[in-house]
Amino acid sequence: MGMANQVLVYDTTLRDGAQREGIALSIEDKLKIAHKLDELGIPFIEGGWPGANPKDVQFFWKLQEEPLIQAEVVAFCSTRRPYIPSDRDRMLQMILAAGTRWVTIFGKSWDLHVTEGLKTTLEENLAMIGDTIEYLRSQGRQVIYDAEHWFDGYEQNPDYALETLKAAKNAGATWLVLCDTNGGTLPQKVSQIVKKVVKELDVGPDKETFPKLGIHTHDDSGTAVANGIAGVVEGVRMIHGTINGYGERCGNANLCTLIPNLQFKMGYSCLTDAQLTQLSKTSRLISEIVNLAPDDHAPFVGRSAFAHKGGIHVSAVQKNPLTYEHIKPEKVGNKRRIVISDQSGLSNVLSKAKTFGIELKKEDIACRDILKQIKKLEHEGYQFEAAESSFELLMRQALGQRKTMFQLKGFQVHCDMLQGQEISYSNALATIKVTVNGEDRLEVAEGNGPVAALDSALRKALENFYPGVAEFHLTDYKVRILDGESGTSSKTRVLVESSNGKERWTTIGVSSNILEASYEAVVEGIEYGLLLKNSMEDTVII
């Protein structure tokens, strides 16, 4: 496929994405993400701004020791400062010291930013753009020029905005990137402006010479992906964005949405088909590294992107997936899921049983009993679409395939609230007594809160009998009040997410006593973890 249909992907998760509120990346985090993006096949990975902080300087040094396989790592910086020669600007020296072949330089496109922000003249801004790029080119660097606030600048003063691009082009920039920095431009306006730039600068995708156009969009109007697509349609051949759309304020264009749309829906080539099958895995891994919960409802890569809940939907999808799926989930490394809820029909139960390795037939009495039990429990407050692991245990219980692993004799939880210190905190102590294989075990454990203490005490009691329990840990804990009008006697639903370091599973408990609901969810989490462990070892605890 020629350059006319090739769209290069430029990932800025490590810089723009890291500016999202709540994200703080260590050097190790950045290295892990960079290598994962490299494995995915991303051609350009922006690593940060060397000199802006010590972390980014060390990151580029570390990458020289642990080089990427195929991606170009890119250093990011502004143009030189007003009236300071490029070869004397310390920022540019730090960029060169980073040792990257490619450099991204951003400059001002909007005359307002030149006069009010930089406090300099329009002529000097053009000189800053040209001088900086010429200097970096003289030092053997390829330059990507980010035209900051391009669309807003063009709207206010189109002639000057175009002059800034011409200055970058004439100085030798390889790519000219149009930035919707404030995220306020809508797709139809992006289309109109990009079309004018292509004509004015003669930089269409059919040209064999550089520079060519890129686009960098933010999501403040909820149109970052649409704006990226609009730009590509009009001639842009480099798309900037971040994994999962991370970024400052409302985020950047989400590459996990933008890439599949361009490739599967529009015929552009971004990554290979094999690389795209790693997209969902990459999305979830990076969400883990940045310590943010994955967006289950994200297009293409979300856990619910190909989930089917209504009985009619499930029945149709089983006959022909095209009835309710716009692409095959396997193309992006995702999978079809049949969701169990009070809206489920027999088709849901049969399909879900199959994913658990359980053979059921529609005429089986157990199948109808399971469906009846689901509807009864969901009426009481259970929610199995959010706790599929608990549903598998329920199904095995109905089929007589669930082993009683231990019996609870009782537990107590004590909490101390320590205040008057510099930092107030709570400490919990849990005591639990269980019987396993006829042997009583009494254990005590502390934790940061009652549920953590209870979980620790229970795992201590079971470790001698089930060593695999030591691998499990709680990763998330959610509580919802189901009938708030009942006040403190309200029924509580608890969802507990557990992990063995490789996989995650969610279990549920419901009770008017929050500790009892938590205990139920924790116990099922441990039980399911052992079931999962034994299935991996090709054995079954039934």
Domain boundary at 349, 380, 398, which?
A: 398
Confirm if 167 and 131 have CB atoms less than 8 A apart.
no
On the question of pLDDT at 485 being above 80, the answer is no
394-434 residue pLDDT tens: 888 888 888 888 888 988 988 876 655 555 556 889 999 99
| Mean pLDDT of the chain, nearest integer | 88
The residue segments making up the domain with residue 141 are 75-269
Residue 155 lies in a domain: yes
Residue 53 lies in a domain: no
Query: Are residues 196 and 345 located together in one domain of the fold?
Result: no
Beta strands in 19-170 (DSSP E): 44-48, 72-78, 102-108, 142-148
What single-letter amino acid sits at 536? M
Residue 428 lies in a domain: yes
Confirm if 428 and 413 have CB atoms less than 8 A apart.
yes
pTM attached to this predicted model = 0.72
Chain centroid to Cα 461, Å, comes to 36
Helices marked H in 41-121: 54-65, 90-97, 111-112
- CATH number for the domain spanning 226: value is 3.20.20.70
* Domain count of the fold of the chain: 3
| Secondary structure string (H, E, C) spanning 386-411 | HCHHHHHHHHHHHCCCCCCCCEEEEE
DSSP state of 50: B
Structure tokens at 57: 């300087």
Domain boundary at 368, 398, 428, which?
A: 398
264 against 383, higher pLDDT: 264
Query: Are residues 335 and 419 located together in one domain of the fold?
Result: no
Give the position of tokens 């245990």: 393
- Round to whole Å and give the CA distance between 255 and 45: 13
Residue 421 lies in a domain: yes
Query: Are residues 419 and 519 located together in one domain of the fold?
Result: yes
- CATH number for the domain spanning 412: value is 3.30.160.270
Q: Which of 469, 488, 486 is nearest to 527 (CA)?
A: 469
Query: Are residues 384 and 424 located together in one domain of the fold?
Result: no
500 against 542, higher pLDDT: 500
- Round to whole Å and give the CA distance between 357 and 374: 19
Query: Are residues 419 and 348 located together in one domain of the fold?
Result: no
Query: Are residues 419 and 371 located together in one domain of the fold?
Result: no
Query: Are residues 97 and 169 located together in one domain of the fold?
Result: yes
Residue 349 lies in a domain: yes
Residue 14 lies in a domain: no
Strand pairing class (212-217; 175-180)? parallel
Query: Are residues 98 and 244 located together in one domain of the fold?
Result: yes
Confirm if 13 and 23 have CB atoms less than 8 A apart.
no
47-86 residue pLDDT tens: 999 988 888 999 999 999 999 999 999 999 999 999 999 9
- Tell me: cis bond preceding 211? Omega within 30 of 0 counts: yes
Query: Are residues 427 and 376 located together in one domain of the fold?
Result: no
309-366 residue pLDDT tens: 765 666 677 677 777 789 999 999 998 877 765 555 666 777 777 777 777 777 777 7
- Round to whole Å and give the CA distance between 44 and 72: 5
Which helix or strand (DSSP H or E) is residue 190 part of?
Answer: helix 187-201
Structure tokens at 148: 């900051």
Lowest mean pLDDT among 61-70, 171-180, 300-309: 300-309
Query: Are residues 264 and 383 located together in one domain of the fold?
Result: no
Query: Are residues 384 and 457 located together in one domain of the fold?
Result: no
Residue 290 lies in a domain: no
Q: Is 374 helix (H, G, I), strand (E, B) or coil?
A: helix
Phi, psi of 434 (to 5 degrees): -130, 160
On the question of pLDDT at 484 being above 60, the answer is no
- Round to whole Å and give the CA distance between 356 and 401: 12
State the pLDDT at residue 342: 52
**Whole-number CA gyration radius for the chain:** 28
Residue 541 lies in a domain: no
Q: Which of 63, 50, 67 is nearest to 15 (CA)?
A: 50
Query: Are residues 147 and 208 located together in one domain of the fold?
Result: yes
